[in-house]
Amino acid sequence: MTDDVAADPPCSFADRSRRWRLGLVALGGLWELLTLPLVAWDGWSWEWVAHVYRSAPYQAVSEAIGADPYVVFGALGGLSFLAVGVALLPDMRRAGIGGRLFAWLIIATGVVSALSYLGTPVDSPLHPLWGAEIFALILVGIAGPFAAATAGTCWKRWTRILMAATILVLAAGLASLGYYPHGPLVSLAAGTALLIAHAPRDAALRSELGQGSAAAQPRG
């Protein structure tokens, strides 16, 4: 006897990996927040950041690395952008070309940020890139509305609004922590976690594709 009921298609990587990708985003945001005092202690941010830096644990870390903590932990902060961008990419592939561009720009910002900090010394060949991450962040903010425009209706309206408001999300992080790229990355990680948690699942995408196919059928 033949079973006429079609088997459910296998679960996609985006759906299978959602929990782990949320954890990756959380780690990226937490790392950037914890290392903020090591790079922004010398009047670059709010006074409480310098106060935290003067605490025993941070002083111990600063002395133990045997190098300028600003350069070391600033460059390592690029890993946070990589974590957020890589975690978001599977879902942004479901948001059209704008979504893909959005995720890849976040990943690229991680590379730019690392090179920027490594170029801190004035005699470094990378010194012209010092501070270049601000321009990469602006591009991420500009790409947000593009991602919202190309995301399908399977994305909830508020998630598309959140994409479109990326520049405001980045600005909120900068205002709250008083330093870039750490502040914008922390707020971006929070927004990214919301997008990943509420991204369309496989069933929603199949439903949208099915409705599109039905609408394309000629009427008899």
The answer as to whether 8 is a domain residue is no
φ/ψ of residue 161, rounded to 5: -65, -40
* Within a domain: 219: no
Residues 108-115: what's their mean pLDDT? 97
SS3 65: coil
Task: For 169-208, write each residue's pLDDT tens digit.
Answer: 999 999 999 999 999 999 999 999 999 999 998 876 666 5
Residue keyed to tokens 């957020």: 84
User: Does a structural domain hold residue 7?
Assistant: no
Q: What is the domain count for the chain?
A: 1
Q: Is residue 5 part of a domain?
A: no
In this structure, of 87-96, 140-149, 206-215, the range with the lowest mean pLDDT score is: 206-215
State the residue range of the domain holding 103: 15-200
Q: Is the pLDDT of residue 133 over 70?
A: yes
